[in-house]
Amino acid sequence: MLRAIPFGWLLAFVAVPCLLLLAIAFSSSAEGVPPFAWGTLSLDAWATLTEDSFYLSAFLRSLRVAFITAALCLALAFPMALALARAPARWQPALVLAVLLPFWTGFLLRMAAWVGLLRDQGWLNGVLLGLGLIQEPLPMLYSTPAMLLGMVHAYLPFAVLPLYATLLRLDRGLEEAAADLGASAFTVFRTITLPLAAPGAAAAFLLVFIPAAGEYVVPEMLGPPEAQLVGRALWGAFFQDRDWPLACLLAVLLLAVLVLPIRLFQRLENRP
Amino acid sequence: MSRVALVAGLAFLWLPILLLVGYAFSASPIPFQLGGFSLRWFAALAADERLLEAAWLSLRVATGAATLATVLGGLVGWVLARQGAFRGRALFGALAGVPLVLPEVVTGLSLLLAFVGLQTLLGWPTERGATTVLLAHATLGAAYAAVVVQSRLSQLDRGLEEAAADLGASPSQVFRTITLPLIAPALAAAWLLAFTLSLDDVVVASFVSGPAGTTLPMLLFSRLRLGLTPEINALGAAILALAGLALGLAAAMLHRSARHQGKAG
């Protein structure tokens, strides 16, 4: 009984929905509500997808953007987590809170804040104009750098926290031993800290990469119109074109692409 | 070197938010332009009925979803931590982890299909709105709650429960007097996590909701597409203040319970 309730829930709201994605990806679309026919078998969505190179490039673009986002997050998060883990113990809770609190202000509001910062009449342009460094506002919003800035801002805490947990567990005695034996600070970092933190770093990378690959809101709010990522393509197929089979097929393919990183992430999470 | 990165990283995280708060109190009608001090945007916010309605709906949905998520996630965590081998355990464990790794658009679309399927099959839910958003958020929240509860349960000293049972406590007494108080902080953390996830979600809600169920993030998103208004800055400032207050309270409670446990132990 204790098991039946959660098991039933997981089957109904996790397993069945995923199977439905697969089923409807290969159903034919229909007029009406919902705009597909149950129990049909059709390759229409597949044909739409393969005829138009737009979708393939959306996938490649998404993977590239997710990779860059995750790499930037990792590059920034690693030294941050190191400083957090090495800070005096009584300061650590406050510092962790300082990393987490922006996360609590609401994702949309943080993106709105970036819009306010970067747009033509925005704060940054105001400052630059005021200083006389530029004569006309720089178009910064709706660009790839603005989108990446927003992505890193949105996902940075996801990378900092697992790295911080890994570095906190790291046995400092090993580093001290290496230093005592004459290793320079850089050698200690390269031969002890980095290898020991590598699984945590890989987990942090994947924790950003996986959701970033399907991101919809950030590219929509900060990115250029031509930055058509999978998330936007799926959203458009669903909300604008009302082509549910195509949206489902995109979701299935996104999952297929992400299976490898997901499995890798789960393996890293379950390591002893 | 790493301290410089920490300061820079925190500045990066905080700069846009602090600007948002600063301009929420600015008199100028164009957001993010410094002017005199003013509370007019907060007044505008308080008079915006659609926004208040959406905020109220979001709060109700988040409260319900977090509560359901804590119960369900607690059960999932319990099964994973305490029930050894059973038929389908591998499937159970795998399914429990799926919502954690699905991209939002996939979660949203797949849950919508589940609701459409249920409607075709059972005639329920009759319409999509607050209820379907609540159920979707509960599913997402439960996955996170399960992780929190499972990790707490597996750290727990089984000796305490065994001692109580040896002294004649019934299983329900053991659960009520020993296990529940010990996992209470984890349950509270799980509830808070699920609550935040629900309040912050725009993508899943957009998929599973209907015309009657516009949550605050959905309303905000549709307004932000039209342009940034000073009211949105004021809303950000208000939410930041509330989140800070809630986190402060939670930290104080955790601190107290840690001291309490320290004394007891």
| Mean pLDDT score, A148-167 | 93
Answer whether residue B138 is part of any domain. Answer: yes
| A185/A7: higher pLDDT | A7
In a domain, B43, yes or no: yes
Q: Per-residue pLDDT tens for B212-225?
A: 899 999 999 999 98
* A94, B6 Cβ separation under 8 angstroms: no
Inter-chain contact A105–B17, Cβ cutoff 8 Å? Answer: yes
pLDDT tier for residue B12 given thresholds of 50, 70 and 90: very high
Contacts of A115 in chain B (CB under 8 A): 224, 228
- For residues A105-122, give the mean pLDDT: 87
CB within 8 Å: A16 and B103: no
Residue B13 has pLDDT above 80, yes or no: yes
pLDDT at residue B40 in the model: 82
Going by pLDDT thresholds of 50, 70 and 90, the confidence category of residue B257 is low
Q: Domain of residue B90: give its range.
A: 39-227
B192 and B154 in contact (C-beta within 8 Å)? no
Among all chains, which residue has been given the structure tokens 């957090």? A84
pLDDT given for residue B124 in this prediction: 85
CA A1 from chain center: how many Å? Answer: 37
| Token pair recorded at residue A107 | 């994702």
Domains and CATH numbers, chain A: 53-243+256-269 (1.10.3720.10)
- Asked whether the beta carbons of A104 and B196 are under 8 A apart, the reply is yes
pLDDT of residue B265: 38
Tens of pLDDT along B38-60?
Answer: 888 888 888 899 999 999 999 99
Q: How confident is the model at residue A208 (pLDDT cuts 50, 70, 90)?
A: very high
Question: Lowest-pLDDT range, A101-110, A246-255, B212-221, B253-262?
Answer: B253-262
Of B79, B86, B200, nearest to A106 by CB-CB distance is B200
- B192 inside domain: yes
Whether residue A101 has pLDDT greater than 90: no
pTM above 0.80, yes or no: yes
Task: Reply yes or no on whether the pLDDT at A59 is more than 50.
Answer: yes
Residue B237: inside a domain, yes or no?
no
Residue B67: inside a domain: yes
Task: Report the pLDDT value the prediction gives residue A82, as an integer from 0 to 100.
Answer: 92
**Confidence class for position A224, pLDDT limits 50, 70, 90:** very high
Using pLDDT thresholds of 50, 70 and 90, give the confidence band for residue B264.
very low
What percent of chain A lies above the pLDDT cut of 90?
54
Q: Report the residue of chain A nearest B217, measured CA to CA.
A: A108
Mean pLDDT is lowest, of A51-55, A74-78, B104-108, B250-254, for B250-254
Question: Does B252 fall in a domain?
Answer: no
- Nearest-Cα distance to chain B for A117, in Å, is 7
Q: Where residue B158 sits, what CATH number does that domain have?
A: 1.10.3720.10
For chain A, the average pLDDT equals 91
Residue B260 scores a pLDDT above 80: no
Name the A residues in 168-197 with CB < 8 Å from any B CB: none
Overall number of domains in chain B:
1
pLDDT at residue number B19: 85
pLDDT of B249 higher than 90: no
Under an 8 A CB cutoff, do A113 and B102 touch?
no
Peptide bond into A17 cis (omega under 30): no
The whole-number pLDDT of residue B208 equals 96
Element (H, E) at A76: helix A53-86
- B positions 24-83 inside 8 Å of A (CB): 30-33, 72, 75-76, 78-79, 83
Instruction: Check residue A159 and give its pLDDT.
Output: 93
Q: Mean pLDDT across the stretch A183-209?
A: 90
Beta bridge partners of A84: none
Of the pLDDT bands very low, low, confident and very high (cuts 50, 70, 90), residue B241 is confident
Interfacial A residues in 212-241 facing B (CB < 8 Å):
213-217, 220-221, 230-231, 234-235, 238-239
Closest CA to A117 of B241, B24, B33, B219: B33
Question: How many contacts, defined by CB atoms under 8 Å, are there between A and B?
Answer: 230
Best probe of the A interface among B113, B197, B225, by most A CBs < 10 A, is B113
Contact A108, B224 (CB under 8 A): yes
* Nearest to B75, CA basis, from B196, B183, B156: B183
* Chain A residue with Cα closest to B10: A99
Q: Which whole number is the average pLDDT over B145-173?
A: 92
Hey, what are A92's tokens? 């650590």
Position B20 in a domain: no
- Is B68 within the bounds of a domain? yes
B113 and A156 in contact by Cβ < 8 A?
no
- Residue B137 CA to residue B141 CA, distance in Å, equals 6
Min Cα separation B24/chain A (Å): 11
Summarize the confidence of residues A132-148 as an average pLDDT: 91
Query: Which residues, 6+ apart, have CB-to-CB distance to A230 below 8 Å?
Result: A58, A59, A62, A213, A214, A250, A254, B105
Per-residue pLDDT at B247 exceeds 80:
no
Q: Does B16 touch chain A (CB under 8 A)?
A: yes
Query: Residue B137: pLDDT above 90?
Result: yes
Which residues are within 8 A (CB) of B117 and not within 5 positions of it... i.e. 6 or more apart?
A16, A20
